Structure 1
Amino acid sequence: MAERLITIATFNDVTEAHILKGRLEAEGILCFLGDENIVGVHPFYATAVGGVKLKVPETDVMEAKAILNRIQEGNTDFDYDTIELAPPMQEHVESTKCPNCGSDNVEQQKFNKTVFSISYLFLGFPLPFLNRKKFVCHECGHTWKSN
């Protein structure tokens, strides 16, 4: 059977509701916001619909209220040691050197500038034709294509 959601707080401001929702989620409590869209679109309807409702499962009500009370008291200590951080994403960087001068200050050109400019002039919008592996060296100005 599905667990009941209990409203533990209401807000007239969507931003404040999202901040506290994020804090509860950081503490490991599943929570939802009710009526956030109607209040976000028409802020004056907040009173009519009862504000943005912060809801948590029935089993987490006591813990969530305790966290909200700590925040209201100004005691917002958070144990950052318990959070598991994902390793930073690393971009694949291809090390290409200029065959003319050996510099690594090289940029891959994304489109043919001539076709791009002419299509923009005559059609009113650019047609980006991609150049595969066309490079330009910023040191000596050499341009070459790679396989």
Structure 2
Amino acid sequence: MAERLVTIATFHELTEAHILKGRLEAEGILCFLGDEHIVGVQPFYSVAVGGVKLKVSESDVMEAKAILARIQEGTSQFDYDTIELAPPMQEHAPARTCPNCGSDNVAEEKYNKTVFSLSYLLLGFPVPFRSRKYKCYNCGHFWKAKK
């Protein structure tokens, strides 16, 4: 038999509701937000619908209220040792530096803009010719990638 959901808190700000929902979920409590989409689309309707409602199952009401009380008091401590952190992101390409000025404020231009623009004007659709050029935003220098 499905458990009944109980509203344990209401919020007029959607962001505050999402923050506390995330905190409860981090503590292992399954919770839901009611009327979040109405308030998100029309914030002035928050008073009319009674705000965003934070709901938990009946069996988790006491624990969730205790966690919310600790958060409001400012005495809440979260055990960061129990969470699994994602591995650090790997960079896909090595960092490039400008050969002219040594700046790392560079970007790769994957397509030849001249051919792209002319084909769009003459043919009605762009033809993407690949060109592996780099541009430095500090000095404006262009160069081709060495393989």
Correspondence for 1:129: 128
Output the amino acid matched with 1:127.
P
Q: TM-score, normalised by structure 1?
A: 0.72
Correspondence for 2:54: 54
Correspondence for 2:39: 39
The Cα shift of 1:128 comes to 5.7
CA gap of 1:126–1:30, structure 2 versus 1, over 3 A, is farther
2:110/2:133 contact within 8 Å kept: no
Q: How many pairs are equivalent?
A: 134
CA gap of 1:137–1:70, structure 2 versus 1, over 3 A, is closer
Instruction: State, as a whole percentage, how many aligned pairs show the same letter.
Output: 68
Question: What pairs with 1:1-147 in structure 2 (closer than 5 Å)?
Answer: 1-93=1-93, 109-119=109-119, 122=121, 127=126, 129-131=128-130, 134=132, 143=144
1:137/1:143 contact within 8 Å kept: no
1:111/1:128 contact within 8 Å kept: no
> Structure 1 residue runs of 4+, over 6 Å off?
none
2:3/2:57 contact within 8 Å kept: yes
1:39/1:46 contact within 8 Å kept: yes
Unmatched 5+ stretches in structure 2? 96-103
1:135/1:145 contact within 8 Å kept: no
2:14/2:39 contact within 8 Å kept: yes
The Cα shift of 1:57 comes to 1.7
1:135/1:143 contact within 8 Å kept: yes
Instruction: Compute the RMSD of aligned alpha carbons.
Output: 3.3
The Cα shift of 1:38 comes to 0.9
CA distance in 2, matches of 1:51, 1:107: 46
2:109/2:135 contact within 8 Å kept: no
Output the amino acid matched with 2:128.
F
Q: TM-score, normalised by structure 2?
A: 0.72
Higher-strand-fraction structure: 2
Give the match's secondary structure for 1:6.
strand
